[in-house]
Every structure is written in C-alpha cells, then in structure tokens.
C-alpha cells in the first residue's frame, strides 16, 4: 500500500462529510445506541484525568460538541473554528488567545490529525496549561486496516512520509479545517513511545 493518499472532498463516500449539524441532530435523537456507546467510550475515560469538576477544561476542535454529554466538568468550554450554537468560543487551535498558565485541561478529540503543524501546536498550547495541567488527546490510529477503510470511503487522507516533529513541515492544507493527515497521531505517538521525543 502506498504511503501517501489524499482524496478530494467531492469524492468522499461518507454521508454528510463535515456536516456536524446533521451529526449532532442525529445523535441527540437517541435512535442509535451503538453511536451513543462509541461516543461514551470516546469521551468518558477522560474524566479520570480531570481532577475536579471545577477545573477549566478547554476542548479544541469540538465539532458536533458532543463531549458535554460525557465529560463531567462545570467549566468545559467548547471551541472550534466553525461557529455553531453549541460552540462556546471561536478558537484557532494554532493561535489560542488565552493567557499562559490559565487552563487546567485541554481536550483534543480526533482533531490532531486535522492540524497543519502538530509540533507547533504542542509548543503553543503547553504554556497555556497551569502547573500540573494536562492535555488529553484521543485520535485515530492509521494502520493498514484503517488505511484500507479510508481509501474505500475516500474519507480522509494520510502521508507516512512527513516529519511531524519539524515546525516547518505542513502536514495538510492549513486553509481547510476538514483537511486531514490521519498518519499524524501514529507518527507523533509511536515515535514517542518507541523512544523518540515529541518536542
């Protein structure tokens, strides 16, 4: 299998690609219990890393904004680069306008692979965390099976041939929030766990 694949949006076979309004409305109907279970699995574990419900928790790239159904925090702030009624603040993840040491927890759920430069992102958000603060990341792992599914559905792309630690490397289209390089999480965290360093 090739180490690079980037489909065009118009070739996408997923229903309502990028339509977070429809995705949110469908979830809130409660008709799909499997979807509810999957999203509960996606978000509920994060509660183990949020020390109290009074901590300031900032979710970046909240999409359909469904984390509020599962994350137990009175101060969960949903942010995105798209403006929707459930989004609390418009925030560009690569340029967060928060003071240093002002956030307890930053949540990144399936958004790292959409960033044009993840290393610069991590450089930028680290000072925003209070001492002892945390960044919670959950994202896709793009192994051979996932690459096959992405190819069949023409949903999102990948390139294994990028240096995710280089602050000059652009991993996907910075002017398109739906642009994605699904190899980014694997390259970031596999290299880290194998003895490499993120920063």
Q: Which two tokens stand for residue 100?
A: 């240093």
118-165 pLDDT, tens digit each? 999 999 999 999 999 999 999 999 999 999 999 999 999 999 999 999
Confidence of residue 2 (pLDDT cuts 50, 70, 90): low
C-alpha 125, offset from chain centre:
14
Q: Residue 196: its pLDDT value, please?
A: 46
pLDDT at 14: 83
pTM beyond 0.85: the answer is yes
90-112: per-residue pLDDT in tens? 999 999 999 999 999 999 999 99
148: enclosing H helix or E strand: helix 144-153
Which DSSP category does 138 fall into? E
Distance of CA 90 to the CA centre of its chain: 15
CB 187, CB 142: distance < 8 Å: no
Domains of the chain: 4-193 (3.40.50)
For residue 198, pLDDT over 60 is answered with no
- pLDDT digits over 33-71, tens only? 999 999 999 999 999 999 998 999 999 999 999 999 999
Can you tell me whether residue 188 is helix, strand or coil?
A: helix
pLDDT one-digit tens code per residue, 7-41: 998 899 887 777 999 999 999 999 999 999 999 99
């Amino acid at each position: 299998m090739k180490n690079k694949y980037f489909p065009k949006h118009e070739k996408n076979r997923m229903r309502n690609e990028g339509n977070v309004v429809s995705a949110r409305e469908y979830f809130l109907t409660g008709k799909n219990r499997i979807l509810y279970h999957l999203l509960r699995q996606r978000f509920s574990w994060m509660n183990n890393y949020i020390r109290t419900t009074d901590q300031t928790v900032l979710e970046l790239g909240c999409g359909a904004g469904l984390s509020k159904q599962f994350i137990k925090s009175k101060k969960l702030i949903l942010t995105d680069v798209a403006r929707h009624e459930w989004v609390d603040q418009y925030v560009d993840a690569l340029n967060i306008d928060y003071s240093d040491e002002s956030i307890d927890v930053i949540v990144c759920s399936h958004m790292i692979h959409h960033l044009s430069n993840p290393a610069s992102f991590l450089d930028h958000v680290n000072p925003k965390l209070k001492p002892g603060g945390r960044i919670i990341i959950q994202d896709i792992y793009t192994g051979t099976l996932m690459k096959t599914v992405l190819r069949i559905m023409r949903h999102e792309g990948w390139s294994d041939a990028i240096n995710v630690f280089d602050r000059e490397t652009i991993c996907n289209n910075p002017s398109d929030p739906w642009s994605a390089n699904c190899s980014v999480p694997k390259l970031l965290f596999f290299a880290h766990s194998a003895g490499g360093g993120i920063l």
